[in-house]
Amino acid sequence: HRQCKPGIVMQVVEPDYTTFVSEFPFVPTNYQVTAAEAVLKDLQSATPMDRLICGDVGFGKTEVAMRAAFVAVQNGKQVCVLVPTTLLASQHEQTFRDRFANFPIQIGLLSRFKNAKDSAKVIAGAEKGTVDILIGTHKLLLHPLSFKALGLLIIDEEHRFGVKQKETLKALKQEVHCLTMTATPIPRTLNMAMSGLRDISLIATPPARRLAI
């Protein structure tokens, strides 16, 4: 069904993208570069992206996702980042804010740590288009949330979400680009990737001087 739908064709806007990439504080691994290039190619395609990025914790999956998010915002589209836990949502929010600090990109967080007033403000921002990147937990799926111009859905550890939540995700991602990150793909997800239903990028080497977990 997704393959038959026309995708959102995005363009990489220079020199902003090159500037953003150059501000990455580490030396990217060859696997990271290859994965980022594959994602950019998907975003520029007329078919909605459905790519799985598989790599161990700390191997740099999030950097690839942030580069994709940057391109989406460049093209006037919003980004939704869905994570399974409140702690991970807070970590992602801090990482995204640090990485996008030099660019006029608005980032919002929706989790149980946010009170009702702040949550309502973030939801309103997503609906009006003033929030460019929305990071959220399961709470994001509980709201009848409608983005003004959603272009990219990033899912971290999809296997941590239940069946009901996955059905909601299916409806959310029908015509938008979808990027899934995982360190431990479940057999169903891996089978979809290996059989060609989803594209897959591996990040198999750690960054230089990375300490073991």
pLDDT digits (tens, 9 = 90+) for 82-140: 999 999 999 999 999 999 999 999 999 998 888 889 989 999 999 999 999 999 988 88
pTM score: 0.91
Token pair belonging to 159: 């296997």
Q: Angle at Cα 34 formed by Cα 182 and Cα 205, nearest 5°?
A: 60
Are residues 81 and 132 in contact, defined by beta-carbon separation less than 8 angstroms? no
Q: How far apart are CA 208 and CA 213, in angstroms?
A: 14
The percent of residues in the chain predicted with pLDDT above 90, rounded, is 57
pLDDT tens across 40-75, in order?
999 999 888 989 999 998 899 999 999 999 999 999
pLDDT value of position 207: 84
pLDDT value of position 32: 96
